[in-house]
Amino acid sequence: MNIFLWLLAGGVLGWASFRFWGFNEERGPIVSTVIGAAGGLFGGHVIAPVFLSAAAIPASFNSPALFFAAALAATFLFVGNTVHKMWGV
């Protein structure tokens, strides 16, 4: 359940960054959504456990991990947009 929420949070941030802030305009909304979802998954699955203590019930909803997922998704989107503008990759 948490993995789905991390992907959803990242995907929504990716879509919103394309629609409202103009990130990755040349590459389209699908690329922004995928970059956001990848950042959300990486933030929630890899980075959050490093900074958070082990949960008593690992299958329960964990809002701090969702925060890390959203923060990493936003970071991935910003870096992806910057790299694309600088080097065209």
pLDDT tens, position by position, 38-64 = 999 999 888 888 888 765 455 667 888
The structure's pTM equals 0.88
Q: b/e per residue, 22-43, with b = 16+ CB within 10 A?
A: ebbeeeeeebbbbbbbbbbbbb
Q: Are 10 and 38 in contact (CB under 8 A)?
A: yes
Both tokens assigned to 80? 């992806």
In the predicted model, what is the mean pLDDT of the chain?
88
DSSP state of 24: T
